[in-house]
A and B are shown apart, each in its own frame.
Chain A
Amino acid sequence: MSREPRRLKNVLEQGQFAVTIEYNPPKGTNISAVLENAKQLVGRVHGVNVTDNTAAVVRAGSLPVCRLLYELGHDPVMQMTCRDRNRIAIQSDLMGASMLGIRNILCLTGDYPTVGDHKEAKPVYDLDSVQVMQLVQGLNNGRDFAGNKLDGATEFTIGAAVTPEADPLGPMLAKFEVKVKAGAQFFQTQAIYHPEQFASFMKTVRPFKVKVLAGILVLRNAKMAEFMNAHILVCQSPRR
C-alpha cells in the first residue's frame, strides 16, 4: 500500500505557497526517466500534473503515470481533456482514478487533433471543460452525470486553466467566472511572461475564493520562445 502523500488541497487551504510541476508521459512504455526525476522531487513539490495526450500527440495515458507518481509519494494532478472521451468514458476513468488514490483533476478541453501527430483522428468533445467540472462535482456528490446514485463518491479537488495574458482579457475573465461557478477550486495559468500584467489580473480575480498558481514555462532556447509567439497566440513572449 502506498504512503499517503501530503495533498495539494491541504497545502492550498493552509495558505502555503504551492509548487506544482508537470510531466508528459512517454511516447512509448519507458517511464524510467520520469520516475527517476520525480523521485528526486518528493517532498519538494506539492502536486505533479500528468498531461493527457498534450497537443494531441499520442503518449502513454495520464492515469497510470499518476498512479506511479502517487506510489512514489507525490500528489498527482490528472489532466483530463474532452477530445478523446465521451461522458461515459470520462466518468469511468474518473471513478477508476479515485479508486487509485488520485485526488486532483485538471479539466481541459484539449487541442484539436489537427495540431497533433494523428491528424485524421476523430475528435469527441461530447462535453467541454466546464461541463466536465460539473460532472466531477456530481461524482463528488455521489451522482453520475445522468443523476444516478453511485456506490461510493469520488473526492476530487477540481482544477481549471486560465490565460491571464489573453488579449482582450474580458472574455477570459468571463470564462474564469463560469469555471468557478462550475466548481473550479484552483487554477493553473498558462505561461506568465509579464508579471506586472499578471499582478493586475490577480487583483481582478481575488474576490473569487479560488487559488491561482502562476504558470512558469522554462524556455530552453530562442527558437522555443519564437514558436510560443507564433503558435500560442494568447501568450506573447516579450522580446525584452
Chain B
Amino acid sequence: MIDELKAAGPERAEDVGVDIAVRTIKAVQPHCDGVHIMAIKATHRLGEIITRAEVG
C-alpha cells in the first residue's frame, strides 16, 4: 500500500487511497456485517467510495 501511494505521487495519492479503500471494502464484505469508513480529512470522498464499493 505504501509503495502504491508513493508511486502515485502527491497529486494522485489520495485517488490511490480511495482505490485501496474501495478494494478493501469489496474484499471484507463477504466476511462481515458492515464497514466503518474513516476518511480523515477526506470526507468529501465518502460518497464516491460508497458508490464505487456498491454498498449504499
Contacts and interface: CB of A to CB of B under 8 A. Distances in A.
Interface of A: 11-12, 15, 17-24, 34, 37, 40-41, 44-46, 49, 186, 188-189, 191-193, 195, 198-199, 202, 211-222, 224-226, 229, 237-240
Interface of B: 1-6, 10, 13-14, 17-18, 20-21, 24-25, 27-47, 49-50, 55-56
A218 B17 contact: yes
A40 B46 CA distance: 10
Contacts of A46: 34
Contact of A211 (B10, B20, B34, B41): B34
Contacts of B14: 220-221
Given A218-B40, A219-B1, A225-B1, A19 B32 contact: no
A11 B56 CA distance: 12
Contact of B1 (A188, A189, A215, A237): A237
Contact of B28 (A20, A24, A214, A220): A214
Contacts, number: 150
Contacts of B20: 219
Nearest to B1: A237
A220 B29 contact: no
30 contacts: A11-B34, A17-B34, A17-B55, A19-B34, A19-B37, A19-B50, A20-B36, A20-B37, A21-B38, A21-B46, A22-B36, A22-B37, A46-B34, A49-B36, A193-B1, A195-B31, A199-B30, A199-B31, A214-B28, A216-B24, A216-B25, A216-B35, A218-B37, A218-B39, A218-B49, A219-B1, A219-B20, A221-B17, A222-B5, A224-B40
B47 A44 contact: yes
Contacts of A226: 2
Nearest to B10: A221
Contacts of B46: 21, 37, 41, 45
Given A21-B43, A191-B38, A198-B28, 11 more contacts: A12-B33, A17-B55, A21-B37, A34-B43, A45-B46, A199-B31, A214-B31, A218-B18, A219-B5, A221-B14, A221-B17
